[in-house]
Amino acid sequence: MMLKNDLILRAARGEQTERTPVWLMRQAGRILPEYRALRAKLSGFKELVETPDLAAEVTIQPIDALDVDAAIIFSDILVVPEAMGLTYEMVEARGPLFPETVKSAADVARLRVADPEEHLGYVLEALRVTKKALGGRVPLIGFAGAPWTILAYMVEGHGSKTFSKARRMLFQDPELSHQLLRKITDTTIAYLRAQVEAGANMLQVFDSWAGILNPQHYHEFSARYIGEICAAMPADVPVTVFAKGAFFAHHDFAQMPCRTIGLDWNEDPRAVRQLVGDKTLQGNLDPCALYGTPEQVRAATIEMLERFGPQRHIANLGHGVYPDTNPERVKVFVETVKEHSTRMRQDLA
Ligand code: CP3
């Protein structure tokens, strides 16, 4: 199927675009009343994730409601540990919980390298249904967590400010850590390749807990596995690496075989451009900027666009949109990106 809007793919490949493409991390979710209405009728988050027709429906909701330039498949990074043998629960208003965690060599040995069709078939089916329903309106983004971030949840068992159990494992048993990262990486490579076969046009790797590692550990336990994942993807499918808080790892990113680097709002895009060369950058408005008045949202968005410059930029927030954000403000953000980035090119011409 021919894409009617392929701006984000062209921007990711470093090609010239007539305006800056825009989407939001967590655009499919609680900010939309139509999501909350559907979600309220179900037993919980997992039912939504595991029912392909419903996952496809909420994936498409923000395309209709917000007019963004890409759809991201509605799922979660935690489906991977589950496919490897560690079930998660999504506890209402608290977040993910793993009743069993990884503590020992025996625990790592028990985990399997998952087979995507067998263990993650519901995500692949959701991608196929979504792709068909989109009818080429916008590209579809597939995703997975980075191996380090997945290890962090598997060892810790739930969210944490420090993930000190997970970081402790890196210090106390680097070899076991690498064994676990190996299994997660092999699963993730097969899973992301299967997502491409099921219709994903582009991929994003979320390293949400990158920022709590020291630079040496980041290099040894995270960046090298992400690099391996990027290198294993089909050459025509752009990969974005979003490593939240990893301002110390620009050298790793410059070497990474990926097209796009996602930036959180702590980063100065001009400084990052100097360090990572000709890669495309994604980001990075502070999600809290969307709590402002329409005028404030517009001003903050324009400031951000000017810092990135007109080309090789995919506009987004610096992290997922917060659930209590007014969708009208999101629309102001999206419209401002479209208008102002068009104007930036006219000013240059
Ligand atoms: O729109 C999209 O971006 C696609 C959907 C998506 C979800 N999770 C849905 C979701 C994506 C890309 C994710 C990724 C994800 N999941 C990450 C990486 C991105 C990041 O935020 O750093 C992480 C760390 C997770 C793990 C996770 N899932 C947590 C910590 C939580 C609880 C916190 C929260 O936001 O409630 C989730 C739950 C979750 N994943 C929800 C959604 C829409 C909320 C569940 C609900 O509807 O009740």
| Token pair listed for 247 | 């301002």
β-bridge mates for residue 145, sequence order: 206
The pLDDT, as a whole number, for residue 92 is 87
In a domain, 202, yes or no: yes
Nearest CA owner, ligand 1 atom 36? 95
Q: Which band of pLDDT confidence, cut at 50, 70 and 90, is reported for residue 40?
A: very high
Q: Which of 36, 72, 77, 149 is the pocket-test mutation for ligand 1 (most atoms within 8 Å of CB)?
A: 77
Q: What is the pLDDT of residues 29-39, one digit of tens each?
A: 999 999 999 99
In a domain, 167, yes or no: yes
| Token pair listed for 281 | 């950058």
3-class state of residue 108 by DSSP = helix
Q: Which band of pLDDT confidence, cut at 50, 70 and 90, is reported for residue 208?
A: very high
In a domain, 309, yes or no: yes
Residue 137 falls in the annotated catalytic set: no
CA pair distance 19, 178, nearest whole angstrom = 42
In a domain, 1, yes or no: no
- Could you say which DSSP state residue 123 is in? H
Mean pLDDT of the chain: 97
320 is in an annotated binding site: no
| Token pair listed for 146 | 């980075």
Q: What is the pLDDT of residues 276-291, one digit of tens each?
A: 989 999 999 999 999 9
30 is in an annotated binding site: yes
Catalytic residue (one of 10, 39, 182, 343): 39
Which long-range contacts does 174-178 make (Cβ < 8 Å, 24+ apart)?
A: 174/220, 174/221, 176/105, 176/108, 177/151, 177/221, 178/221
The pLDDT, as a whole number, for residue 348 is 80
CA pair distance 114, 134, nearest whole angstrom = 28
Q: What is the pLDDT of residues 74-103, one digit of tens each?
A: 999 999 999 999 999 999 889 999 999 999
CA pair distance 322, 172, nearest whole angstrom = 36
Residue 78 alpha carbon, nearest atom of ligand 1: 26
- Segments forming the whole domain that contains residue 225: 7-348
Residue 191 falls in the annotated catalytic set: no
Looking at the predicted structure, is the pLDDT value of residue 253 above 90?
yes
Residue 28 alpha carbon, nearest atom of ligand 1: 1
Catalytic residue (one of 26, 182, 224, 307): 26
Total structural domains in the chain?
1
Looking at the predicted structure, is the pLDDT value of residue 313 above 90?
yes
In a domain, 2, yes or no: no
* Cα(69) to centroid(ligand 1), Å: 20
The pLDDT, as a whole number, for residue 138 is 98
Phi, psi of 205 (to 5 degrees): -105, 120
Q: What is the pLDDT of residues 293-309, one digit of tens each?
A: 999 999 999 999 999 99
Looking at the predicted structure, is the pLDDT value of residue 156 above 80?
yes
CA atoms within 13 A on the CB side of 85: 13
In a domain, 48, yes or no: yes
Residue 39 falls in the annotated catalytic set: yes
The pLDDT, as a whole number, for residue 169 is 98
The reply to whether ligand 1 has any atom less than 6 angstroms from the CB of 211 is: no
The reply to whether ligand 1 has any atom less than 6 angstroms from the CB of 343 is: no
| Token pair listed for 200 | 């994903």
β-bridge mates for residue 316, sequence order: 284
In a domain, 270, yes or no: yes
Average pLDDT over residues 232-248: 97
340 is in an annotated binding site: no
Looking at the predicted structure, is the pLDDT value of residue 349 above 80?
no
Residue 161 sits in a domain of what CATH number? 3.20.20.210
Is residue 38 within 8 A of residue 57, CB to CB? The reply is: yes
Q: Which band of pLDDT confidence, cut at 50, 70 and 90, is reported for residue 1?
A: confident
Angle between the N-to-C axes of helices 52-66 and 121-134, in degrees from 0 to 180, rounded to the nearest 10: 40
Q: What is the pLDDT of residues 103-131, one digit of tens each?
A: 999 999 999 999 999 999 999 999 999 99
Is residue 281 within 8 A of residue 313, CB to CB? The reply is: yes
The pLDDT, as a whole number, for residue 93 is 86
Looking at the predicted structure, is the pLDDT value of residue 73 above 90?
yes
In sign, the C-alpha dihedral spanning 187, 243, 296, 321 is positive
CB crowding 170-205: b at 16 or more within 10 Å, else e: beeeeebbbebbebbbbbbbbbbbbbbebbbbbbbb
Instruction: List % helix, strand, coil for the chain (3-state, nearest 5).
Output: 55, 10, 35
Q: Which of 51, 76, 140 is the pocket-test mutation for ligand 1 (most atoms within 8 Å of CB)?
A: 76
Residue 76 falls in the annotated catalytic set: yes
* Cα(324) to centroid(ligand 1), Å: 14
Catalytic residue (one of 13, 67, 76, 343): 76
Is residue 20 within 8 A of residue 314, CB to CB? The reply is: yes
In a domain, 68, yes or no: yes
Q: Which band of pLDDT confidence, cut at 50, 70 and 90, is reported for residue 157?
A: very high
Phi, psi of 315 (to 5 degrees): -75, 140
Looking at the predicted structure, is the pLDDT value of residue 155 above 90?
yes
The pLDDT, as a whole number, for residue 240 is 98
